[in-house]
Structure 1
Amino acid sequence: MGETIGPRLYSCSKCGNHVSLHDDIISKSFQGRNGRGFLFSHAMNVVLGQKENRQLITGLHTVADVHCCDCREVLGWKYIQAFVAHQKYKEGKFILEKPKIVKENW
């Protein structure tokens, strides 16, 4: 019989802290500061930095950097507000950068 494993997770690549579930991925076609980024509906074990307006590829957004709560590595950002109507779906969602996270339980 196969071994039962938990849910597929993503962890901080620096310290191994669990930061999101694979099932929470909305899209894998985003661009982060350090390469590809994934859009997640939820993130866990993270803390938010200061809110700031940032000009991104898709327009002006209010965002807050997302830090691992254990090692404080910047993993991506959270969309707080989108100023363009067709970008509103991103509000409350998280970008986690692929180089900053690793797969676990795959």
Structure 2
Amino acid sequence: MGMSYRQYLAGARIYGCSTCKTHLATIHSMLSRAFNGQHGRAYLFEGVVNVVEGKPCDRQMTTGNHTVRDIYCIKCGVTLGWKYDKAYDPSQKYKEGKYILERNLLVDVQ
């Protein structure tokens, strides 16, 4: 396994891992603040960087059944949220390919 390089983001507001401050996403890629994670409030993002995706699994969530992958910080390995691979309910299809980051696992970095 080779060395992993981290991407650095630029912008007005950058969200990072609360453990190691690795850049994850910008405010401009945020789609919604109205989500819940496993540990409280969460945000829905169009895209994130510097994460490793786990294996897909089906989970029953409040909005129905979804195939998701947990996502982990590329530097410290902490679980940050998940990626939606598939939504079985047609009204939830907009989530496919999007990411959930848990608010209490994020910090503002510059």
Provide TM-score, normalisation by structure 1: 0.92
**Aligned equivalent of 1:44, options 28, 41, 49:** 49
Give the alignment of 1:89-104 within 5 angstroms.
89-104=94-109
Shift of 1:103: 1.3
Q: Secondary structure at the match of 1:71?
A: coil
Q: Secondary structure at the match of 2:55?
A: strand
User: What fraction of aligned residue pairs are identical, expressed as a percent?
Assistant: 44
Cα deviations across residues 74-95 of structure 1 (Å, max 9, x unaligned)? 0000000000000000000000
**Are 2:29 and 1:24 equivalent residues in the alignment?**
yes
Shift of 1:104: 2.1
Runs of 4+ in structure 1 over 6 Å off = none
Cross-structure match for 2:38: 33
What is the alpha-carbon distance in structure 1 between the residues aligned to residue 43 and residue 91 of structure 2?
Answer: 19
Q: Secondary structure at the match of 2:35?
A: strand
What is the alpha-carbon distance in structure 2 between the residues aligned to residue 68 and residue 20 of structure 1?
Answer: 12
Write 1 or 2 for the structure with the bigger share of strand: 1
RMSD between aligned residues: 0.7
Runs of 5+ unmatched residues, structure 1: 1-5
What is the alpha-carbon distance in structure 1 between the residues aligned to residue 109 and residue 21 of structure 2?
Answer: 9
What is the alpha-carbon distance in structure 2 between the residues aligned to residue 20 and residue 68 of structure 1?
Answer: 12
Runs of 5+ unmatched residues, structure 2: 1-9
Q: Is this contact kept in 1: 2:48–2:99, CA < 8 A?
A: yes
